[in-house]
Amino acid sequence: MSDPRQPLSDTARPALCLASASPRRRELLASIGVSVAVRPVDIDETPRPGEGAVDYVTRLAREKALAGARLTTLPTLGSDTAVVCDGEILGKPEGPEHAAGMLRRLAGRTHEVLTAVAVSGPAGVLEACVATRVTMRAIGEAEVAAYWATGEPADKAGGYAIQGLAAIFVERIEGSHSAVVGLPLYETAELLRRQGVALWGRTFG
């Protein structure tokens, strides 16, 4: 099986450039029949002074799409996800204590996950941002330590992966599950359709 982090060859006839190395986003696009050429981009992800969370993730998605579009003639998708608690963006953990602190903060309450997607193509740059409410159960200290030891949270926004082992912490969600994983499929499919990208191998009017 090919490594999902590696670019597809030109012979695979991708319909879309994915400006991200995320295997989760590639898998989500594959689930709606979209083949991609993976072209990760490197942009400054530092929040701007006074920038709200919605503006932040939307800007990063747009900048990723535009940066990726400079590498290809294909329509290009950029996306960004942020975990927000009490109005604060929780990034990727810097180490075990930081990760444990975030998980303790999220445990036993509801937080918001924002995922923005931007697609650059013939119709210009089209954008959408989706908010999903995630409620976690109480999490004991032994579970917090054991979860970090799995290695899963080390590179995840907010220090957890809803599609992975942390699913047992999630009591309920209100909104898009795929958006929490990394890409809101309903909104993404609409943006791709407007850019003429085939879904299920077919272009819908």
State the Cα angle at 126 between 10 and 90, rounded to 5°: 95
Nearest-angstrom CA–CA distance, 126 and 20: 17
Cα separations (Å) of 36 from 11, 76, 123, 182?
12, 9, 19, 16
DSSP characters for 163-175? TTGGGGGEEEEES
Q: Which of 10, 80, 86, 155 is catalytic?
A: 80
Q: How many Cβ atoms sit within 10 Å of the Cβ of residue 185?
A: 19
42 is catalytic: no
Beta strand 124-136 pairing with 110-121: antiparallel
Active-site residue list: 80
